[in-house]
Amino acid sequence: MITGKEDLMEAIAEAFAMEKGTKEFYDYAAERALSDTARRMFASLRDWEQSHMQYLIYLYQSLMEARETISYEEYVKNSPSADMESGMSVKEATELFERKEFIDDTEAILQALEIEGKAFNLYRQLSESAGDNNARVIFEEMKKQEQKHIDELRNLKMMVG
């Protein structure tokens, strides 16, 4: 699990693994959501996480410069994704999702808000404790992205609630 004491390359790798785990959960949730609105919301969140992964790979590849790099597809395939940004494991999140049948879209949105809120807090803590200034910048950017997710989910909640 990421601690904030990582150097830049470790921070990118750890953030990537969490983004991947969160993407996998949202993909799982999109397939099992009860309503079309909830399915679309989880699919949209999955796509956001995918774009975060691509951003992190871009940073990784630009930092590798002349060193040999692996392809995005190879990196995704070989990266672990046991944990999500929220600090919860993908397994725990999917088990929770299985136990909870959403009555309406509002419950699905609240679940997503909880995940994104925890992710925001994690990246906030990491940006505050990062020893590497470049890693701090990465964590700050990821925190901003999580805030965008939270804002979007709040807007969606007002529309459906």
Residue recorded with tokens 């949202």: 26
Q: Convert 41-60 to b/e letters by CB count within 10 Å (16 or more is b).
A: bbbbbbebbbebbebbbebb
Please check the confidence at residue 75 and state whether its pLDDT lies above 70: no
Residues 39-71 pLDDT 10s: 888 899 899 889 888 888 887 777 776 555 566
What is the topology classification, in CATH, of domain 8-160? Answer: Ferritin (1.20.1260)
Q: How is the chain split into domains, by residue range?
A: 8-160
Contacts of 14 (CB under 8 A, 6+ apart): 1, 2, 6
What is the tens place of the pLDDT at every residue in 99-139? 665 556 777 788 888 888 888 988 888 888 877 788 788 88
Torsion angle (degrees, nearest 10) of CA 96, 99, 105, 110: -30
